């Protein structure tokens, strides 16, 4: 009991930090009012945020610390797959928070009950330490059926033995999307009958996570929600930065920087400010090279050829500041110079 209480306190402390980071990151939500319609047929992506008063924001599509896209999708048969992230990013772009919410059985093992059309595997053999237990079932764990999400998802940290005294007891990370509350009242996450591209309602994540709201108003009064196939340009912009080459021996005379802007639409005017060799707090990026471009699609990539040069052994930061209207986002990448060159000079921007 003591360890479970300590675990709850730890997770909620992490969640408060993560929730604050998301607001500091400049969360702007969200959508022009009016009836919308989801795209018909084929897989569709979920985007946006759900909210738990215990753990903060849960983001259903975005970029991880390496700049790779993550998210949750629904296929043509209604099966949900992929991962959402509960938390945010710190000033260095590292992912912080309670962690991944997974919708794939391969990552979660078998759910407590089979409600999405899947089949449970054999029970765990307690006499066989090598038996993974309840991890050999098949089929989906969450499905959108008749407008309602049925089944489960699981927070990966609920399976982590470093956070859980017993891997198979205590808080196990499971989130249920429809069922009966302790009071006997029904709850569920469903497609809003008035807005076919958005979800509404509540899921239940146990004592640690609590109720998860899929539609509401943030503290600043802006609406939030989780959308099905939301059009580009209606979601907060996200950015990533890549260097080519990013490793050299002695020096690199010409480094290309490519900034990628996500959740934009064709015709958007976007400004990019590139800076070389600055610290982790974005200091100095204002003095970098600024260019303005017009987005031709989503995502939109802009490359500056040979914008940076480096000499002397070390690991250097390059950063970009990206602006679209009132939105401002930062991203960074690193360039490594190995020993073997001549001279020690400061990074420069062309």
Q: Which domains does the chain have, with CATH numbers?
A: 2-228 (no CATH), 238-349 (2.60.40.3880)
- Distance (Å, rounded) from C-alpha 57 to C-alpha 48? 10
**Mean pLDDT across the chain:** 77
Is the predicted pLDDT of residue 82 greater than 70, yes or no?
A: yes
Per-residue confidence (pLDDT) for residue 270, from 0 to 100: 97
pLDDT of res. 129: 58
Q: What is the pLDDT of residue 26?
A: 36
Spatial CA neighbour of 90 closest among 111, 112, 65: 65
Token pair listed for 186: 């029904």
Q: What is the pLDDT of residue 317?
A: 85
By percentage, how much of the chain surpasses pLDDT 70?
A: 70
Question: CB of 209 within 8 A of CB of 175?
Answer: yes
* pLDDT 10s digits, 230-269: 555 566 788 888 899 988 898 889 999 999 888 788 899 9
* Preceding omega of 299 cis (within 30 degrees of 0): yes
31/218 Cα distance (integer angstroms): 13
Comparing CA positions, the residue from 15, 113, 116 lying closest to residue 58 is 15
**What pLDDT is stored for residue 118 in this prediction?**
79
pLDDT at 145: 93
Q: What is the pLDDT of residue 283?
A: 53
63/183: higher pLDDT? 183
Chain CA centroid to CA 81, Å: 14
Listing DSSP states for 304-340 in one string gives: EEEEEEEESSEEEEEEEEEEETTEEEEEEEEEEEES-
Where is pLDDT greater, at 14 or 296? 296
Phi, psi of 159 (to 5 degrees): -100, -5
Give the pLDDT confidence score for residue 280 in this predicted structure.
Answer: 52
Contact criterion met (CB below 8 Å) for 258 and 302: yes
pTM of the model: 0.58
- For the segment 14-47, what is each residue's pLDDT rounded down to a tens digit? 444 444 444 333 333 333 333 333 434 457 889 8
């Amino acid at each position: 009991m003591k360890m479970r209480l300590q675990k709850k306190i730890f997770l909620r402390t992490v969640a408060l930090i993560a929730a604050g980071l998301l607001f500091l990151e400049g969360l702007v939500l969200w959508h022009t009012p009016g009836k919308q319609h989801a795209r018909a047929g084929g897989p569709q992506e979920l985007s946006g945020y759900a909210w738990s008063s215990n753990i903060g924001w849960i983001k259903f599509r975005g970029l991880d610390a390496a700049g790779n896209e993550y998210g949750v999708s629904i296929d043509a048969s209604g099966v949900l797959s992929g991962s959402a992230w509960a938390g945010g990013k710190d000033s260095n772009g590292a992912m912080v928070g309670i962690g991944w919410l997974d919708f794939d059985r391969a990552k979660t093992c078998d759910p407590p009950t089979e409600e999405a059309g899947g089949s449970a595997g054999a029970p765990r053999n307690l006499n066989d330490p090598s038996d993974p237990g309840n991890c050999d079932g098949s089929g989906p764990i969450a499905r959108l059926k008749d407008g309602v999400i049925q089944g489960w998802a699981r927070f990966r940290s609920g399976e982590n033995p470093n956070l859980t005294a017993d891997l198979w007891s205590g808080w196990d990370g499971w989130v249920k999307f429809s069922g009966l509350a302790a009071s006997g009242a029904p709850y569920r996450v469903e497609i809003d009958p008035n807005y076919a591209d958005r979800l509404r309602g509540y899921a239940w994540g146990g004592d640690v996570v609590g109720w998860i709201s899929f539609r509401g108003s943030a503290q600043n009064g802006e609406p939030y929600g989780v959308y099905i196939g939301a059009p580009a340009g209606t979601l907060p912009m996200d950015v990533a930065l890549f260097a080519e080459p990013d490793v050299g021996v002695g020096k690199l005379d010409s480094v290309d920087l490519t900034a990628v802007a996500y959740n934009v639409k064709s015709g958007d005017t976007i400004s990019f400010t590139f800076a070389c060799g600055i610290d982790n707090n974005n200091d100095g990026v204002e003095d970098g090279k600024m260019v303005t471009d017009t987005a031709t699609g989503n995502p939109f990539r802009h490359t500056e050829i040979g914008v940076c040069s480096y000499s002397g052994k070390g690991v250097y930061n390059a950063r970009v500041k990206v602006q679209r209207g009132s939105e401002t986002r930062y991203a960074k990448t690193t360039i490594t110079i190995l020993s073997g060159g001549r001279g020690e000079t400061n990074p420069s921007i062309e």
